[in-house]
Amino acid sequence: MCTLSALTQTSLVSPSDFTTSGEAVLTGSNCFQLTKERLWSSGGVWHKTPIDLRSSFSMDLRMMFGCDDIGGADGVVFVFTPFQGMVGYQGEGMGFAGLQPSLGIEIDTWENEHLFDPPEDHVAILQDGYVNHYYNLVGPKAIANVEDCKLHDLGIRWDEKEQLLEVSIDGQDVIAYQGDLIADVFRDNPVVYWGVTSATGKYFNRHEICFDRINFRAPLEDLEFTPQQIGLLEKGQVHTLEDVKFKSGRTTISDRSLPDLHRVINFLNDHPHLHLGIEGHTDNVGSEDLNKTLSQRRAKAISDYLLGKGVPQPRLHVEGYGEEHPAADNTTPQGREKNRRIDIYFFNPRT
């Protein structure tokens, strides 16, 4: 099975999360029919919230590709694109052809020889609306027949650290692509919408999709503190970054920390007159001197990350207190984890 690290949100889906295009219609609590069982039908279902490719995510769906194995067509494409609600060409285009820039995970059930399709049902990872396999990123790869009137599990995983996109069908890994999607596909735009398109042509099948579970982060640039937190921060109250956690003796910033850090960045952008104080703290494992040095390094790691995201260095003020100010009991693992923390506060240097 595909593996994934550092997710911050797990959510079940509801129909209100999606918009439809073309002939797609809602058929159940979280299921949609993408195409009608007739010639030249097309439809798409799009999530209203974009995702940020700078963070890992996973999605679990169920898809039905029709009941006609011999004469059924054309298939389904899972699409990422900066433009919401678009549907490309019908027939062999499966509602994906012509969408640029885009990345598509194709599950094709019809052999178009001029597109270099294999005779079997197959998967491929496509780019920029091209369904001709000459332009593929990966594939095509033959799979077992899926035009059997059954719902098939589809898993999609993006590991941002490894730059790895993986696809599974019915619990089996079927295709993967490793590369810089942001730079190479989306022209340095990390925020994309996602959805599923399908189409029929001279031959047809009924295509359906059910969304089960989505694990993803909202775009980092959209993250904000709550209104209550903003009011307190504007008054200079010390705030603990709850999701900024460090392993014992380490200074590495994890993916889990990024939403908290981008809330800080966005707050600084919205309050250009304020400076930021960053205070590092540790548990009591090790010597006092080493812990003080470690806390300073952790605070500096946060400062360096913010600096790399465009926060001017004069606005960042770093201090390490070691084990001097515990927030919890150091006699338990849970308490020690809470003490390995970063506190922040905002202040106006002119007052």
Tens of pLDDT, residues 242-295: 989 888 788 988 777 888 999 999 999 999 999 999 999 999 999 999 999 999
Rounded CA-CA distance 252/321 in Å is 18
- Number of Cβ atoms within 10 Å of the Cβ of 216: 22
Predicted confidence (pLDDT) at residue 216 exceeds the cutoff of 90: no
Q: What is the CATH number of domain 10-217?
A: 2.60.120.200
**70 vs 276: which has the higher pLDDT:** 276
pTM (predicted TM-score): 0.59
Range list for CATH 3.30.1330.60 in the chain? 223-347
C-alpha closest to that of 280 among 325, 334, 319: 319
Spatial contact of 55 and 220, defined as CB atoms under 8 Å apart: yes
Tens of pLDDT, residues 151-210: 999 989 998 888 999 999 988 899 999 999 999 999 999 999 999 988 887 777 788 888
Predicted confidence (pLDDT) at residue 7 exceeds the cutoff of 70: no
Nearest 5°: the CA angle 178, 181, 182 is: 145
Radius of gyration of the chain, Cα coordinates, nearest whole angstrom: 24
Tens of pLDDT, residues 120-152: 989 999 999 888 888 899 989 999 999 999 999
**Strands annotated E in 36-137:** 42-47, 51-52, 57-64, 75-81, 103-108, 122-127
Three-state SS annotation for 151-191: EEEEEEEEECCCCEEEEEECCEEEEEEECCHHHHCCCCCCE
Tens of pLDDT, residues 82-120: 887 666 555 566 677 788 899 999 998 878 788 878 889
pLDDT score of 351: 81
pLDDT score of 11: 52
Rounded CA-CA distance 165/105 in Å is 10
Spatial contact of 195 and 20, defined as CB atoms under 8 Å apart: no
User: Could you name the CATH architecture of 223-347?
Assistant: 2-Layer Sandwich (3.30)
pLDDT score of 115: 82
Q: What six digits make up the tokens of 124?
A: 């491929």
- Number of Cβ atoms within 10 Å of the Cβ of 159: 20
C-alpha closest to that of 241 among 222, 219, 218, 264: 264
Rounded CA-CA distance 292/70 in Å is 71
Tens of pLDDT, residues 12-34: 567 788 889 888 889 877 889 88
**315 vs 252: which has the higher pLDDT:** 315
What single-letter amino acid sits at 15? P
pLDDT score of 103: 94
Range list for CATH 2.60.120.200 in the chain? 10-217
pLDDT score of 271: 97
Confidence of residue 55 (pLDDT cuts 50, 70, 90): confident
